[in-house]
Amino acid sequence: MAFITKEKFLSNEWLTAYTYLIIGSIIFAVSDILFVVPYKLAPGGVYGIATVLNTLFGWKISYCTFAMEVPLVIIGTIILGPRFGIKTMLSIGIILLTVWIMETYVVPGYPKVIADPMLNTIVAGVFYGIAIGMIFKSRATSGGSDIIAMIFAKYTKISLGKLVMIVDGIIVLFTLVQPTETGAIGWEFVIYSLIIIYIEGKIIDMVVSGANYHKTVMIVSDQYESIVSKIKGDLKRGATVFTGTGAYSGEERKMVYSVMSRRELEILKLHVKSVDPEAFVNVTEANEIIGKGFKSLNEEEE
């Protein structure tokens, strides 16, 4: 997946993209220094490796990350071509600079801002998710493990998503080499880091696609006309009617397909129950909806 985009200079799309990029990069850097490093956590990425190196040798996070990011970008560009674009380079630079300022002048020594480790983990996951989600919305990447995964994806048959998970999972396991206060193996570092990754992923989805308030519903019923009338008339939603053949009975049946909010779905379910209690109803999450009545396709244009 290339992250090079072509927004017109100083257009609304350009200003929006770079606003997301700058704010997201700063939030990521601040979150890393305030909530991740003090508890010796490593929720993936080169910053996770940098945290482990900082714990073991006392090296600055910014210096460790710079030493890894620059070779990765160079190698990635050589192997993959110029796929990262100016925005990814800018994101890497802003994060590095902000981290250096934070650890040098603002909070030297990485003190714990939140005393409770679980609360700190939740806060870290939320802010990480907001930050990375904003960077993704600008159609950029923060580099790091994404570049490693892209390189492996070129030479293997494993999907990019799985490779990112594998790379980040290995980085999380690096926390086991860190010393704990009791001298035991630091499984708590791994557990908290995995919790951050989980929360981060949920928040990224919300930032990129919006909060998920909609459901996709498919209804197989002989009373499809009444159901369609309810959807169009009372709920003011669109619907599509398909004709299908039951694999068991061999009979042709009508299936109604529609997307609506949770509240609208509950109203529709009551109506379906009243007109056809034997209807087959399948409800799934609608993670992203593009088209009339929802998000415009123009919002997806680069």
Q: Give me 90's structure tokens.
A: 């800018």
* Contact (Cβ atoms closer than 8 angstroms) between residue 208 and residue 134: no
- Give 215-230 pLDDT, tens digit per residue: 899 999 999 999 999 9
Question: Residues 201, 268: one domain?
Answer: no
pTM of the model: 0.76
* Contact (Cβ atoms closer than 8 angstroms) between residue 209 and residue 88: no
Instruction: Give the per-residue pLDDT at 102.
Output: 96
Question: In which residue are the tokens 């945290």 written?
Answer: 51
Question: Residues 258, 162: one domain?
Answer: no
Question: Residues 196, 221: one domain?
Answer: no
CA angle 152, 157, 163 (to 5 degrees): 45
Instruction: Give the per-residue pLDDT at 106.
Output: 95
Last residue of a domain, one of 148, 176, 209: 209
Instruction: Give the per-residue pLDDT at 210.
Output: 65
Residue 293 lies in a domain: no
Instruction: Give the per-residue pLDDT at 221.
Output: 92
Instruction: Give the per-residue pLDDT at 76.
Output: 82
Residue 137 lies in a domain: yes
Residue 300 lies in a domain: no
Range list of H helices, the chain: 12-31, 45-57, 61-80, 85-101, 117-137, 145-155, 160-173, 187-209, 224-233, 262-275
Residue 122 lies in a domain: yes
Question: Residues 244, 258: one domain?
Answer: yes
Q: Give me 74's structure tokens.
A: 């160079």
Four-point Cα dihedral 177, 130, 91, 157, nearest 10? 60
Q: Distance of CA 31 to CAs 106, 205, 225, 294, Å?
A: 13, 19, 53, 33
Taking the CB of residue 164, how many other CB atoms lie within 10 A of it? 19
The one-letter amino acid at 195: I
* SS3 assignment, position 216: strand
From 98, 73, 69, 94, select the one nearest 84 (Cα to Cα): 73
Residue 7 lies in a domain: no
Q: How far is residue 101's CA from residue 250's CA, in Å, rounded to a whole number?
A: 69
Range list of H helices, 210-261: 224-233
Residue 124 lies in a domain: yes
Question: Residues 37, 160: one domain?
Answer: yes
* Contact (Cβ atoms closer than 8 angstroms) between residue 271 and residue 227: yes
Question: Residues 85, 136: one domain?
Answer: yes
Last residue of a domain, one of 175, 209, 243: 209
Question: In which residue are the tokens 């620059």 written?
Answer: 70
Question: Residues 154, 254: one domain?
Answer: no
Domain harbouring 276, CATH code:
3.30.70.120
Question: Residues 111, 179: one domain?
Answer: yes
The one-digit pLDDT tens for each residue of the chain (302 residues) are: 444 456 677 788 889 889 999 999 999 999 999 999 999 999 988 999 999 999 999 999 999 999 999 888 888 888 877 666 788 889 999 999 999 999 999 999 999 999 999 999 999 999 999 999 898 888 777 777 778 887 887 788 777 667 878 888 899 998 998 888 766 778 999 999 999 999 998 888 788 766 657 889 999 999 999 999 999 988 888 899 999 888 777 888 899 999 988 888 888 999 999 999 999 999 988 766 676 666 655 655 44
Question: Residues 107, 250: one domain?
Answer: no
Residue 40 lies in a domain: yes
Question: Residues 235, 199: one domain?
Answer: no
Instruction: Give the per-residue pLDDT at 17.
Output: 87
Burial class (CB in 10 A: 0-12, 13-18, 19+), 41: buried
Instruction: Give the per-residue pLDDT at 260.
Output: 87
Residue 297 lies in a domain: no
Question: Residues 59, 16: one domain?
Answer: yes
Number of domains in the chain: 2
- Give 120-138 pLDDT, tens digit per residue: 999 999 999 999 989 888 8
Last residue of a domain, one of 209, 239, 274: 209
Q: How far is residue 41's CA from residue 50's CA, in Å, rounded to a whole number?
A: 10
Q: Supply the range of the domain harboring residue 281.
A: 214-286
DSSP 73-109: HHHHHHHH-S-SHHHHHHHHHHHHHHHHHIIIIISTT
Burial class (CB in 10 A: 0-12, 13-18, 19+), 194: middle
Instruction: Give the per-residue pLDDT at 302.
Output: 43
Instruction: Give the per-residue pLDDT at 62.
Output: 95
Question: Residues 82, 231: one domain?
Answer: no
CB-facing half-sphere around the CA of 146: CA atoms within 13 A? 16
